[in-house]
Amino acid sequence: MELKSWNLRSTPLACIPIGYLCNYFLPILFLLICCPISAQEDAIPAQQPVDSSLVQTKKRRLDARDPALLAQPITIEDYKIISYKRDTTYLDTTLTIQKEYKFNYLRKDDFELMPFANTGQPYNKLGVDLRSVQPYPALGATALNYNYMEVRDIDYYNVATPMSDLFFKTTFEEGQLLDATLTFNTSPRFNFSLAYKGFRSLGKYLSDQAESGNFRMTTNYVTKNGRYRIRAHVAAQDIETQANGGLTNKEEQFEAGDDNFSDRKKVDVRFNDADNKILGKRYYFDHFYKVFKKEKDSSRIERTSLGIGHVFNYETKYYSFNQTQQSTYFGDRLVPTIVDKAQLKTMYNEVNAEFYNATLGRLQGNISVYNYTYFFNSVLITEDGSRIPSRLKGEEIAVGATYEKKIRGFALKGEFKYNLSGELGGNLFNASAGYQLNDHYRITASAHASARMPDFNYLLYQSDYVDYNWSNLGAFEKEQVYGLQFNLDSDIWGDLTVDYTTVDNYSYFGSAPDNIRVEGVENSIVRPVQEGNVLNHTKVTYRKEFRLGGFALNNTVMYQNVSQANEVLNLPQLVTRNTLYFSSHVFKKAMYLQTGVTLKYFTAYTMDAYNPLLGEFYIQNEEKLGGYPMLDFFINARIQQTRIYLKAEHFNSSFSQNRDFYSAPNYPYRDFVIRFGLVWNFFS
């Protein structure tokens, strides 16, 4: 399948060409015509504050055969967001400090991440979660995949009336970030959504431009009798970044604080001709039919049911690195112009059967087939006669099961996946038990075990650079991960999470042992490596907010310890984020205002270095970075359903004499900058 993309450079607000949109609209339209598409109404909505300003007097657009429901007013609880795991929450239009933490490029709390200077560039890690979420290898280039939306990142909707969500934020020079979502329905049981997230940012440094486009279309449907449901989505994503290779004279041009280089365009960078690109398309649907259904007496409460389901996912994805000019930074070239391209096509089919009983719980068993083709353009024969194959292709067959049950204050969940045949498939096991002690305390304990091959770019890679060609399928073994987690949520004492993980055959990228040094700081050639010793990772995270009148102090503190024979997993020992802010209604309660200062700090450690050819971070143990504070000042406001954000990011860099703030070796963190944005919900 040919993968195409659009160019976002020519317009300030990224938008989708009509022809490109039609390429993805027609297949999903065909799917909708052939089979009705789903909504999930069986999940229990999470309790959230109700926005009284959204209570409307107009009638619901419900089935005319439900006259009792027609007269009910619409509230915020009628705008439901349904996750991949069928957890349901309400649309939240409140203004909280958690919304401030999520007002960023990823729209997630990035506490454990360290962004580069420009939006859309890689994130270095301050913390890790080593547990596997799927039993199969991914394409790779993980440093550039943070904005790539996987199946588990797609939300579905069930709304009473059409609703839109508009997210806007300025970036760094000649661009902006826009994420727009429109949800609507043709009936209470037939819901759709269209969404597009596009951004462009030139950046403060040379050859640092980044841009992306994430198109999503979702739909879900459930029949009136509740027997059949289906949900589906189409996603088309394009992520492109320029790779400048970092600074080449950081001591004189950056760290010395010379005013001649306050314009960062004057700072020398390693490359001005290289770029990375990730492009992917995905078609997904999940449908289910209840063969047997028994309700309790004459009510609509389900007592017992038995059903069968089917999950389908087809995805094509590629990663490329291109460079035009001669450079010896990555070693010798095979050809003058570098055009590296790794491609992956996958198709997943799962058939499942589910039994539900109000007393026994919900049990599902499944069998799945996973087909993959990871490939390059040709077979490579090296100078020493080694043969680097052009592809990895195979089929994996696995069985699995899930179970969940709520017994008063207890909530039990479990899942496992076991690979029956195939070379790359792994095993997965998760179990958790939670108990609600009372309205103020909840405890949860969970266990994880998995065996999984590392990503495809560890197993096979081809490049026009001589030293970036390898085939490790026979040499690499599955990573063995075992973990325990304990969590205590308390309205009084705060939230405490203790996570312990042990890993065998940990895979990482490291400098080639025979590589020459570049400028005496870092090595230019890296290779995939597997650690032969077991490493142990302990992470303790504590969250607590203290309030006094309109003032509040929100704290998040994370402590980490890694026990390892070799320095292959480098992390800061302490990461903290503390926000002192004030909240109050103003202008006769027409506006809700929130203003404060956030401090983020992590202890110095040997930060991973970044390799732009692979789009991966790699281990370096020579240079310690970190140990500097990052201060942000913000003023946020809420007017009806509009949240407005104004932030002065890293303002202490403007008066600090030390220019030692880095996101990775040779990659500085951003300077002081003022950014503006908003989130706006429309209802009709």
First to last CA, the chain: 40
Residue span of the structural domain in which 57 resides: 18-683
The mean pLDDT value for 124-135 works out to 94
Q: Quick one: pLDDT band at residue 670, thresholds 50, 70, 90?
A: very high
Q: Quick one: pLDDT band at residue 69, thresholds 50, 70, 90?
A: low
- Beta-carbon contacts of residue 521 (< 8 Å; ≥ 6 apart): 622, 623, 665, 666
The mean pLDDT value for 595-612 works out to 97
The mean pLDDT value for 312-326 works out to 94
Q: Quick one: pLDDT band at residue 656, thresholds 50, 70, 90?
A: confident
Which is higher by pLDDT, 79 or 512?
79
Question: Which pLDDT score, from 0 to 100, does residue 36 have?
Answer: 36
The string of pLDDT tens digits covering residues 432-475 is 999 998 888 999 999 999 999 999 999 999 999 999 999 999 89
The single residue listed with the structure tokens 């992390």 is 571
pLDDT over 70 for what percent of the chain? Answer: 87
Question: Which pLDDT score, from 0 to 100, does residue 205 have?
Answer: 96
Report yes or no on 12 lying in a domain. no
User: Which H or E run includes 100?
Assistant: helix 97-101
Give the closest residue to 356 by CA, choosing from 435, 423, 290. 290
Is the pLDDT score of 29 beyond 60? no
CA 98/CA 104 separation, integer angstroms = 12
The mean pLDDT value for 495-514 works out to 92
Is the pLDDT score of 56 beyond 80? no
Question: Which pLDDT score, from 0 to 100, does residue 50 have?
Answer: 39
The string of pLDDT tens digits covering residues 83-128 is 999 999 999 999 999 999 999 999 999 999 999 999 999 999 999 9
Report yes or no on 3 lying in a domain. no
Report yes or no on 5 lying in a domain. no
**Coil, strand or helix: which one is 654?**
helix
Report yes or no on 11 lying in a domain. no
Report yes or no on 2 lying in a domain. no
User: Which H or E run includes 31?
Assistant: helix 18-34
Question: Which pLDDT score, from 0 to 100, does residue 439 have?
Answer: 85
CA 4/CA 268 separation, integer angstroms = 33
User: Which H or E run includes 33?
Assistant: helix 18-34
CA 317/CA 226 separation, integer angstroms = 36
- Return the bridge partners of 659, or none: none
CA 131/CA 454 separation, integer angstroms = 13
**DSSP string spanning 400-422?**
EEEEEEEETTEEEEEEEEEEEE-
Provide the number of structural domains found in the chain: 1
Is the pLDDT score of 27 beyond 70? no
Is the pLDDT score of 648 beyond 60? yes
Question: Which pLDDT score, from 0 to 100, does residue 319 have?
Answer: 97
The single residue listed with the structure tokens 């932030």 is 647
The mean pLDDT value for 541-563 works out to 97
The mean pLDDT value for 363-373 works out to 97
- When the pLDDT of each residue in the chain is averaged and rounded to a whole number, the result is 88
- The CATH code of the domain that includes 576 is 2.40.170.20
The mean pLDDT value for 372-385 works out to 86
- Return the bridge partners of 169, or none: 177, 677
Report yes or no on 7 lying in a domain. no
The mean pLDDT value for 504-519 works out to 76
Is the pLDDT score of 582 beyond 90? yes
Question: Which pLDDT score, from 0 to 100, does residue 299 have?
Answer: 60
Question: Rounded to the nearest 5 degrees, what angle is found at the Cα of 217, between the Cα atoms of 214 and 218?
Answer: 130
Is the pLDDT score of 61 beyond 60? no
Question: Which pLDDT score, from 0 to 100, does residue 218 have?
Answer: 98
Q: Quick one: pLDDT band at residue 233, thresholds 50, 70, 90?
A: very high
Question: Which pLDDT score, from 0 to 100, does residue 674 have?
Answer: 96
Report yes or no on 422 lying in a domain. yes
Least confident of 38-52, 304-318, 503-517, 596-610: 38-52
Give the closest residue to 622 by CA, choosing from 613, 610, 609. 609
The mean pLDDT value for 171-197 works out to 95
**Coil, strand or helix: which one is 11?**
coil
Report yes or no on 56 lying in a domain. yes
pTM score over 0.85: yes
Q: Quick one: pLDDT band at residue 512, thresholds 50, 70, 90?
A: confident
Q: Quick one: pLDDT band at residue 522, thresholds 50, 70, 90?
A: very low
